[in-house]
Structure 1
């Protein structure tokens, strides 16, 4: 057998760049007059936004604009509902982004984000996951387009006739994807061409999604994903940060 990797040295192609500090990640691509954005998360579990007061934030030094569902660039309805940011007043869960502050520096954007005042009409919510939940459903596909339900052979029959049976229920605490590099994106518009640097392991999917959301041919969207500082499953598909970055770039 030839060409085996066992016992053979491997070349880490990006190793020298990383250990010498010259590797650039998604948030480290300087552009002339680059701005920084900071989101404002919802503070209610479910409801809708009834009013947003951005006057105090817009009056602070360095602030360029504050985007809400009322003035953000319009995007098409995405297949992934988590990407439907700043499209309307609804709040599906706590932490949903209801505004985006764009400023000259990240510090100015973060400070201004805390000055945005949002009013809500709170709706009843039920976040207990159970089999008989009235909003529970089984999707046709899951986990990257695979069938949601897959069965092979006769598992019930095999289990019933097995000489040894182990039937155990396990409970695990909530888990959170926490890579060393947070989600980040840098975007710029060159006329009707969009160029982004994003921390993603799915650059092709990011390009297709951005093209659909902003009504662009895919050949007018360029996505760079040179270095990714970890993902643990959270960076395989487009995330809201790349959509918000493109919105902020278009608005400024």
Structure 2
């Protein structure tokens, strides 16, 4: 404690000399570039590789028709080039091995794939007919929990919040893309891999290639970011190892492009969350209901534990949380920065912070928000001269604000150089007046849209 320790890899990383997966010095390497599906669901009816094979420097063109066979188990993500079926847009349907990365990429663009497309389903909705309750969420989290009587508590609560939220898909894009260099030697497989876990890579690859774990060597001295997406191996590792079986004994280098990572490196699934909160007039929670809906891939299930934090972070005697999933024809979700952490943690807390604003109509307290005791939740607008030290742009915004009957009201005004309108809300937090006399909230809406941000 208290000792200034030197980071082991700090000097190499700062100087730019740290060798990452793609930088590993291997003898006479060749390069791999994939062919990806252009449809979301269906099968390959015919694939023409003649033009690609004729390019100078091309060593082999792999498809499901000539790729080495794998001992694939239940994990369909690893069944790379093992059949004509297509489960999502961007799936590997072929690959080119060449002496240069430029030749491999050009040849891959010449592979002609003909499909028998099927009707696909890629849109997540709260009422999706295929929603189901999974056996568990990622990490062994229970699918549903229930404590107390949520419905009765909500019916009796002085304050009720009932709202649905959507969070978007978020994609992993660490500084170093997902990269693998594969080498076969003496019946053993060596992988220089950009991974956060060498043992999971070994455990996944060994049975696929009918090897003992000791015959698979995974080397990852440095990792250029991962956000969890490199915690488990993905399909590109399998494809690199397959290609190395067809490269005449030469090492194969394979790095996903930024565009390819959106379909092949995992992502945080979008969610739809129906949140209901019941509270007393002083903001104490009495009921929590969080119903989370997410998507997974039809070919491999991954369930975000979206509602897990509500089970332990909020003290309420009545709690209910559920997870429902729709299996769609989409890429496979996976870990991303503590799986589901962003999408799951924000919802109950964000609404609880505004609980006082949800007083039921007709309540005597609804007419007098100050009686709730939530001084920080209710702000009264006041019209004051702009403080002299206030930045010029904020003084101009403040002049646009007005106070009507003691409640913050929008004020529209022209915005120089723009075609939109700016809505400004001027407010005061009474208990912070001595530190900050003004507070401005502005939202800019293009084309004059009139929405409260």
Whether TM exceeds 0.5 here: the answer is yes
Aligned residues: 246
Out of 156, 169, 183, the position equivalent to 2:150 is: 156
Distance apart, 1:10 and its partner CA: 4.1
Contact 2:68–2:242 (CA<8 Å) still a contact in 1? yes
Q: 1:43 aligns with which of 17, 38, 46?
A: 38
Matches of 1:58 and 1:65 in 2, distance apart? Answer: 7
Q: Distance in 2 between matches of 1:174 and 1:236?
A: 19
Mean Cα displacement is larger for which, 77-86 or 33-42?
Answer: 77-86
Please list, as runs of the form range in 1=range in 2, the aligned pairs for 1:120-131 lying within 5 A after superposition. 120-131=115-126
Q: Kindly indicate which of the two structures has a greater share of residues assigned to strand.
A: 2
Instruction: Give the match's secondary structure for 2:245.
Output: helix
Q: Distance in 1 between matches of 2:110 and 2:127?
A: 41
C-alpha deviations, 1:216-238, integer Å up to 9, x for none? 01011011121111112311111
| Shift in Å, 1:130 | 3.2
> Shift of the alpha carbon at 1:28?
1.1
Question: 1:142/1:237 Cα in 2 relative to 1: closer, same or farther (>3 Å)?
Answer: farther
CA gap 1:69/1:10 in 2 versus in 1, 3 angstroms: same
Which residue number in structure 2 is paired with residue 55 of structure 1?
A: 50
Q: Aligned runs of 1:239-250 on 2, under 5 Å?
A: 239-250=234-245
CA distance in 2, matches of 1:99, 1:225: 27
1:194-230 CA deviation, whole Å, 9 max, x = no partner? 1001111121111000001111010110111211111
Match of 1:28 among 13, 23, 29: 23
Q: Which moved more, 1:122-131 or 1:111-120?
A: 122-131
Q: Is the 8 A contact 1:159 1:165 kept in 2?
A: no
1:117-161 CA distance string (max 9 Å, x none): 000001111112235545444433443x42351537448379636
Bigger relative contact order, structure 1 or 2 (CA pairs below 8 A, ≥6 apart):
1
- Point out the structure with max Rg over C-alpha: 2
Deviations, residues 65-123 of structure 1 (Å, cap 9, x unaligned): 01111111111224432222101000011111100111111111111100100000011
Matched, 1:11 2:20: no
* Structure-2 residue corresponding to 1:105: 100
Q: Is the 8 A contact 1:42 1:98 kept in 2?
A: yes
- Distance in 2, matches of 1:31 and 1:171, equals 47
Report SS of the residue matched to 1:186.
strand
Tell me how far apart the structure 2 counterparts of residues 247 and 158 of structure 1 sit (CA, whole Å): 59
In structure 2, C-alpha distance between the alignment counterparts of 1:103 and 1:148, rounded to whole Å: 48
Shift of 1:52: 0.9
Q: TM-score, normalised by structure 2?
A: 0.51
Alpha-carbon offset, residue 12 of structure 1: 1.7
User: Displacement, 1:163?
Assistant: 5.7
Equivalent residue in structure 1 for 2:141, among 137, 147, 159: 147
**What's the C-alpha RMSD, in Å, of the aligned pairs?**
2.1
Residues 138 and 148 of structure 1 are in contact (CA less than 8 Å); yes or no, is this contact kept in structure 2?
A: no
Gaps of 5+ in 1: none
User: Greater CA deviation, 147-156 or 237-246?
Assistant: 147-156
1:31-53 CA-to-partner distances (Å, cap 9, x unmatched) read 11211100101011110001111
Determine which of 202, 205, 209 is the counterpart of 1:207.
202
Counterpart CA distance in 2 for 1:251 and 1:135 is 41
Cα–Cα, structure 1 residues 185 and 58, in superposed 2: closer, same or farther, change >3 Å?
same
Cα–Cα, structure 1 residues 157 and 213, in superposed 2: closer, same or farther, change >3 Å?
A: same
Q: How has the CA–CA distance of structure 1 residues 129 and 192 changed in structure 2, closer, same or farther, with 3 Å as cutoff?
A: same
2:80 counterpart (81, 85, 105): 85
Name the CA distance, whole Å, in 2 between partners of 1:155 and 1:12.
Answer: 52
1:185 aligned to which of 160, 180, 199: 180
